[in-house]
Structure 1
Amino acid sequence: MADLDGRVIAVTGAASGIGRALALALARRGARLALADRDAEGLAETARLLGNFPAITRAFDVTDHAALAAFVEAAAAEWNGLDGIINNAGLSVVAPFADCPREDFDRVMAVNFTAVVEGTRLALPHLRARGSGWIVNISSVFGMMGYPTQSAYNASKFAVRGFTEALALELAVTDPGIAVIRVHPGGVKTRVARNAKQIARLPGTPADLDAAAEFEKAARTTPEAAAEAIVRGMEERRHRILIGPDARFIDWMVRLFPETHFRRIGLFLGGGQRR
């Protein structure tokens, strides 16, 4: 198994949820951390929870590519190199495609996909200089199946999946020491549903439906369990990580019923979105 002790890992979206849990899980294994999020207060709380573990923090929006580049370079400068990046920052909007403003759709793509590509682009030269390392990109179960009112989120997470699969195949040839990992969480008990911008619903949706509450009720995995699964996957140098029983169930259903899976598992999914 790969040893994370002393390795330098950058994590985006580290102010809460899976990102914060990842910081704590990596610290327990002795990693040195560079943590980023647009939420400065949440990021400061993550740093407080880390105590004396070696970490640097930067508050910025991952769509600011100059700030993202400065973050990666600061991590490498702090510890004379970089061993991995976990592109975790993400968001969602809730709207049928016809009702989703262009700027909201584009914002989801910029955060969930373009920033993943840019983070990977910036980290890769440092990992090549090391000769080994990790690129971990967070997709979703919604990177395996479509879901109504989630066209932007679906598009971004399918894109992360495709990009990461292609990169894994390429680096297996050119840089086999670099593990490229795609992660498909199912329902994780974070605030992603509460924080999603609610724009519009499908016709016929009950007016009193609280989609975020439905998501939270259906979510089966804690951020801590999700982070442990990701970090174990890094240690084992796996290429795909499914998080939670719902993710494994959806994976099988999509494989077994490629045309009818949504009708079969729609009720299982409930009213929220998965991260």
Structure 2
Amino acid sequence: MITGAAAGIGRALAVELARRGARLSLLDHDADGLEDATRRCEAIGARVLAQVVDVTDWDGMQAAAAAVNSELGGVDLVFAAAGVIHRGSLLDSDVADVERVMAVNWRGLMYTVKAHLPAVVGSGDGRIVTFSSAYGLVATPKYTAYNSSKFAVRGFSESLRQELAGAGVSVTCVFPGGVRTSIIRNGSFAPSENRDAVIRGFEKRVARTDPEEAATIILSGVERRRARVFVGVDARLVAGLARLVGGHYQDLVPAVGRLLRRLRGRSS
């Protein structure tokens, strides 16, 4: 079962799992994107149950889980990959934008896992895969909502992994770095942000990993039942920084940002 299956890492996971012979339950709120992902997987030969669902709708998620059980005979592997992003300082951001990020990234993920967990536990050999971020290891300015949601996912995943120890279910938390997806283009921005400049910067300097490569890395870690999977060199570097300097990164990151701005000013 994959949420966020219409695009990005979710779709890449769906296609790769289709190649490996999996039966697929694909969920997304984007009907057109979900239809495209379904066609791709069915063309490979996979059996697909596609459902247009909002992960923040608890009743909808319960119904989706029930459909998987009745039509596909249960589920043993859950990828809670749906996510959104917002950029902007808390001072300039609308509360609704902050709440939406928390609703999708944290509450929607929890609903996804909770709704499918009985079947996963019942499978006797299940896996839960959650998606945090490099932003769930180190916080950065102007991503207050996104950082909060991804730190929450990290804590949720680590707690759940301990709860399910001995139940035949492993929990793997994925920490992607910059992956070439549409998340930033589809994100929300505070009025003070230069949306086009942020998107250009992300796509040029940050998004280095293809979704297909990310899917391969993730599945390798899930097969090994690892607690954490880091996607991309940048994610591994951020994890190393977090271990090395601890909370002191909160002083280092702004200082590096000021230095880079001065250097750009001198070169312009």
- Normalised to the residue count of structure 1, the TM-score between the two structures is 0.88
Q: Deviations over 1:26-65 (max 9, x none)?
A: 1111111000111100011101111131111011211111
How many correspondences in the alignment? 255
Q: Does 1:215 align with 2:202?
A: yes
Q: Which letter maps to 1:220?
A: R
Q: Which letter maps to 1:199?
A: A
Mapped partners of 2:115, 2:196: distance in 1: 42
Mapped partners of 1:54, 1:264: distance in 2: 52
Change (3 A) 1:209 1:66: closer
Mapped partners of 1:222, 1:264: distance in 2: 30
Matches within 5 A, 1:50-69: 50=41, 51=43, 52-69=45-62
1:230 alignment counterpart: 218
- Higher deviation after alignment, 177-186 or 164-173: 164-173
Cα drift, residue 114 of structure 1:
0.5
CA contact (8 A) 1:69 1:122 kept: yes
Mapped partners of 1:13, 1:195: distance in 2: 13
1:88 alignment counterpart: 81
Change (3 A) 1:215 1:125: same
Q: Does 1:140 align with 2:127?
A: no
Matches within 5 A, 1:179-198: 179-198=170-189
Q: Does 1:125 align with 2:125?
A: no
Consecutive unaligned residues of structure 2, counting only runs of 5 or more, are 262-268
Change (3 A) 1:264 1:250: farther
Mapped partners of 1:194, 1:200: distance in 2: 15
- Higher deviation after alignment, 224-233 or 152-161: 224-233
1:240 alignment counterpart: 228
CA contact (8 A) 1:84 1:123 kept: no
Change (3 A) 1:84 1:29: same
Change (3 A) 1:72 1:209: closer
For residue 194 of structure 1, give the secondary structure of its aligned residue in structure 2. Answer: coil
Mapped partners of 2:121, 2:128: distance in 1: 11
Q: 2:142 aligns with which of 106, 131, 149?
A: 149
Counting helix residues as a fraction of each chain, which structure ranks higher? 2
Cα drift, residue 145 of structure 1:
0.9
Mapped partners of 2:38, 2:208: distance in 1: 27
Cα drift, residue 146 of structure 1:
0.9
Mapped partners of 2:108, 2:80: distance in 1: 8
Change (3 A) 1:209 1:116: closer
Question: What percentage of residue pairs aligned between the two structures are identical?
Answer: 41
Consecutive unaligned residues of structure 1, counting only runs of 5 or more, are 1-9, 271-275
For residue 108 of structure 2, give the secondary structure of its aligned residue in structure 1. Answer: helix
Change (3 A) 1:98 1:264: closer
Q: RMSD of the alignment, in Å?
A: 2.1
CA contact (8 A) 1:94 1:200 kept: no
Mapped partners of 1:134, 1:208: distance in 2: 37
CA contact (8 A) 2:88 2:189 kept: yes
For residue 242 of structure 1, give the secondary structure of its aligned residue in structure 2. Answer: strand
Mapped partners of 2:164, 2:82: distance in 1: 23
- Higher deviation after alignment, 218-227 or 98-107: 98-107
Q: Does 1:105 align with 2:98?
A: yes
